[in-house]
Amino acid sequence: MKIKGLSRAFSPIARIINRHILVDLFAAIAEGVVLFTFVFLLKRLFGLADLLVAEGTTLLAFGKLIFSLLPSIMMLTFPMAVLLASLLVYGRMAGDNEITALHACGYSVNQLLVPALIIGALLTSLLFWWGHRIAPRGLRIFRTETAEILRTTATTGIRPGEFNEFGNFIFLPSEIESGHMIYLRLFEKREDRIAGVISSPSASIDFSPEDSILYLQLQDGVLHQIPTADRDIAIRFGEMNFSLLMQDLIRSFARLGREESRYGSHLLSDYIRRYIEALQRDNLDAKVRDYYLKYWKRCEVEQAKRVALPFACLIMAVTGALLGMGSRFGKRSACYAITIMVIFAYYILLNFGITYAEDGTFPPVIGVWIPNLVGLVLAVYFLLRTRKV
């Protein structure tokens, strides 16, 4: 006969069981965070390889770059780790018939979900603060450190007699003396082919960390354009000045997100307010209006993501626990496979929602919350199915 109200009649026993599950969940989450963070970080290190190795970055600068990336990476890895932990712990309990034994003693599905709800709520609260404060600050630190490395690279890191690549441009100086490049050849790439070559006997180069702009001044040179027909185009110039915006290059080094991802919450809200006010002006040029509308939507999407991603921890915790209890996934290989598939589907839905939110099809909040709503529906389905077992 089932013992009704077990958690109320034997609250010390219920606390012991919950504490046991919580300890297992914390251990599995720590394992998942370390593993998934390493995988995501390794992916970004490929983009940093040239910057870190070829340019001789110091160990201190390397450490700052890595630690500044970790907060934004962990925003993605915590939901994955929570799902993996729930599958591992509850799947092992189901596989060892511990769930069946607890059911026989009157321990309901709702009571078994208490540890998952606790861990999900704690991590949701943590990531909500983390996403608004720590992750944007980490990206700002990364940008500052990368800009400093690029400043050094732009003056002393360019090696004479070698191809030095910066975004869509390749520098090939013969000599470098006091910030001046002697006999410089500058190649411009377009779609993996050389579109033009600039030759100059003397060129100066400087980098502005505040604006992330690389300034070039070439003197007495020749611009050769790759012929599109049966003719070659050569233009001689006495002085040529142009600049390279390095923000895209900085983000591409570590495959960072968009510029608004490094904004603090107050600054992000301020940008949204400014874009709304700008769009309300009369006689606004169509191109300018499209520009304001585009970045207004992007800022609103970023703001919504900082709320939606933390709640993914709570949804993943409950969904993983119910899936583990009902399917008896106790083996690590199966849990990892299911985690990868679920997270893959989650981020496909997230990118789908972001795309349609930015083009105005969905409101940003709805678009970003699509995967969470789908996860919530799945959690309710698994709950009803588990209660029938």
The tens digit of pLDDT for each residue in 271-306 reads 899 888 888 887 778 888 888 888 899 999 999 999
Residue 107 has what pLDDT? Answer: 80
Cα torsion 199, 57, 151, 217 to 10°: value is -10
Out of 252, 276, 303, a domain closes at: 252
Q: Higher confidence at residue 7 or residue 100?
A: 100
Q: Are residues 147 and 187 in the same domain?
A: no
Residue 49 has what pLDDT? Answer: 64
Q: Are residues 76 and 189 in the same domain?
A: no
Q: Higher confidence at residue 383 or residue 283?
A: 383
Q: Are residues 45 and 139 in the same domain?
A: yes
Residue 314 has what pLDDT? Answer: 94
Percent of the chain with pLDDT over 90: 26
Q: Are residues 29 and 114 in the same domain?
A: yes
Name the nearest CA neighbour of 125 among 371, 313, 367, 285.
Answer: 313
Residue 289 has what pLDDT? Answer: 85
Q: Are residues 17 and 71 in the same domain?
A: yes
User: In the chain, how many domains are there?
Assistant: 2
Is 103's pLDDT higher than 90?
A: no
What rounded mean pLDDT belongs to the chain?
A: 81
243 found inside a domain:
yes
273 found inside a domain:
no
Residue 207 has what pLDDT? Answer: 67
Q: Are residues 109 and 11 in the same domain?
A: yes
Residues contacting 339, CB < 8 A, separation 6+: 32, 80, 83, 84, 87, 320
Host domain of residue 76: 6-151+293-388
Q: What is the mean pLDDT of residues 20-34?
A: 93
Q: Are residues 92 and 197 in the same domain?
A: no
188 found inside a domain:
yes
What is the C-alpha end-to-end distance of the chain, expressed in Å? 17
Q: What is the mean pLDDT of residues 6-34?
A: 80
Q: Are residues 61 and 143 in the same domain?
A: yes
Least confident of 115-129, 213-227, 364-378: 213-227
Q: pLDDT tens across 245-261, in order? A: 665 555 555 555 677 88
HSE-CB of 180 using CA atoms within 13 angstroms: 10
Q: Are residues 133 and 13 in the same domain?
A: yes
Residue 115's pLDDT band, with cuts at 50, 70 and 90, is very high
Is 128's pLDDT higher than 60?
A: yes
Give the DSSP letter of residue 159: P
102 found inside a domain:
yes
Q: pLDDT tens across 317-326, in order? A: 999 999 888 7
Is 309's pLDDT higher than 80?
A: yes
Out of 220, 235, 252, a domain closes at: 252
Residue 151 has what pLDDT? Answer: 62
Is 201's pLDDT higher than 50?
A: yes
* Residue 178 vs residues 59, 151, 203, 204: alpha-carbon distances, Å: 26, 14, 11, 9
Is 7's pLDDT higher than 50?
A: no
Least confident of 203-207, 286-290, 339-343: 203-207
Residue 10 has what pLDDT? Answer: 45
Residue 161 has what pLDDT? Answer: 80
266 found inside a domain:
no
342 found inside a domain:
yes
Is 231's pLDDT higher than 80?
A: no
Is 129's pLDDT higher than 80?
A: yes
Q: Are residues 146 and 207 in the same domain?
A: no
Is 114's pLDDT higher than 50?
A: yes
Q: How far apart are CA 321 and CA 315, in angstroms?
A: 10
Q: Are residues 121 and 215 in the same domain?
A: no
Residue 119 has what pLDDT? Answer: 95
- Take residue 234 and report the two structure tokens written for it: 């050569």
What is the 3-class SS of 266-325, one letter each residue? HHHHHHHHHHHHHHCCCCCCHHHHHHHHHHHHHHHHHHHHHHHHHHHHHHHHHHHHHHHH
268 found inside a domain:
no
Out of 220, 252, 284, a domain closes at: 252
DSSP calls for 194-240:
EEEEEEEEEEEEEEETTTTEEEEEEEEEEEEEPPSSS--EEEEEEEE
Q: Are residues 308 and 214 in the same domain?
A: no
304 found inside a domain:
yes
